[in-house]
């Protein structure tokens, strides 16, 4: 319970207690929490104090409100640092989550004009186009479309790309991936993205486009991805000077 002799504000103590209950599993994602009146009685504080605590948690995306229904525990977003280059599989493993993929497209095609330029292809060269839905703990997180020059991975198969492409090219082919340039912008889900990501139509999503280079300077891959904005966020350390 709250310590009224503590220098910490009552609303802050309520926030921390609710976070602890979520961490303990007392309140799971999707659960409705007690009403302001019930919480004010539980903590023996004013409803205004409870309201401030709840509002702060809503602003942190820890809780969310639905008009006429109540306040619910939100799914916690996965943080992706903008520093460092990892595959989706590696990224989820670092977070103790199980990564999986559903292959929805695999073919060898002529590259779209923008991809052709970014991969610095020669006339007549083709690419493997790999389309996958990415899952974390069986929940859809992203739709990825990767374009890889066919000459770099001539023996690529559906079985290989159903796993980790990076593990294959570095572990089996001996390439070393050095760096990438990434662009992120906000957009909304179309009907196909809505279905595959299991989000409402026109929901906010993060569109990410990445160009990856090998240590020898050769462009290895262009990836176009749509991430669920309600489950993913990007963080970065910024230094002055």
Q: State the Cα–Cα distance between residues 219 and 120, nearest whole angstrom.
A: 7
Whether residues 63 and 177 fall in one domain = no
Q: State the Cα–Cα distance between residues 41 and 177, nearest whole angstrom.
A: 57
**Residue 43: domain span:** 10-73
Residue 22 CB partners (closer than 8 Å, separation 6+): 28, 62, 73
Q: State the Cα–Cα distance between residues 180 and 61, nearest whole angstrom.
A: 30
Whether residues 151 and 186 fall in one domain = yes
Residue 84 — very low, low, confident or very high, per pLDDT cuts 50/70/90? low
Whether residues 155 and 51 fall in one domain = no
For residue 95, pLDDT over 70 is answered with: no
To the nearest whole percent, how much of the chain has pLDDT over 90? 42
67 or 127, which is more confident: 127
Q: Output the average pLDDT for the chain.
A: 85
pLDDT, mean of residues 135-160: 90
For residue 29, pLDDT over 90 is answered with: no
Whether residues 129 and 214 fall in one domain = yes
Whether residues 68 and 85 fall in one domain = no
Q: What is the 3-state secondary structure (H, E, C) of 100-162?
A: EEEEEEEEEEECCHHHHHHCCCCCCCEEEEEEEEEEECCEEEEEEEEEEECCCCCCCCHHHHC
CA 160 to chain centre: 23
Whether residues 69 and 87 fall in one domain = no
Which of 12-21, 81-90, 131-140 bottoms out in mean pLDDT, i.e. has the lowest? 81-90
Whether residues 161 and 60 fall in one domain = no
């Amino acid at each position: 319970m709250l310590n009224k002799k503590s220098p910490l504000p009552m609303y802050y103590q309520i926030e921390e207690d609710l976070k602890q209950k979520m961490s303990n599993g007392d309140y799971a994602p999707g659960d409705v929490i007690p009403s302001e009146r019930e919480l004010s009685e539980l903590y023996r504080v004013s409803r205004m104090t409870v309201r401030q605590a709840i509002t702060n948690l809503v602003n942190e995306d820890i809780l969310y409100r639905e008009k006429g229904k109540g306040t619910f525990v939100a799914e916690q977003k996965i943080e992706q640092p903008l520093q460092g280059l990892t595959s989706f599989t590696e990224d989820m493993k670092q977070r103790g989550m199980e990564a999986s993929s559903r292959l929805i497209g695999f073919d060898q095609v002529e590259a779209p004009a923008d991809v052709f330029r970014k991969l610095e292809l020669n006339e007549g060269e083709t690419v493997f186009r790999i389309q996958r839905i990415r899952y974390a703990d069986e929940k859809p997180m992203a739709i990825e479309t990767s374009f890889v020059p066919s000459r770099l991975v001539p023996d690529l198969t559906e079985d290989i790309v159903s796993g980790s492409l990076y593990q294959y090219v570095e572990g089996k082919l001996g390439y070393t991936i050095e760096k990438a340039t990434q662009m992120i912008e906000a957009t909304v889900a179309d009907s196909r993205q809505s279905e595959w990501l299991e989000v409402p139509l026109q929901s906010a999503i993060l569109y990410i486009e990445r160009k990856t280079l090998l240590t020898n300077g050769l462009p290895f891959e262009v990836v176009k991805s749509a991430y669920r904005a309600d489950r993913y966020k990007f963080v970065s350390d910024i230094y002055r000077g």
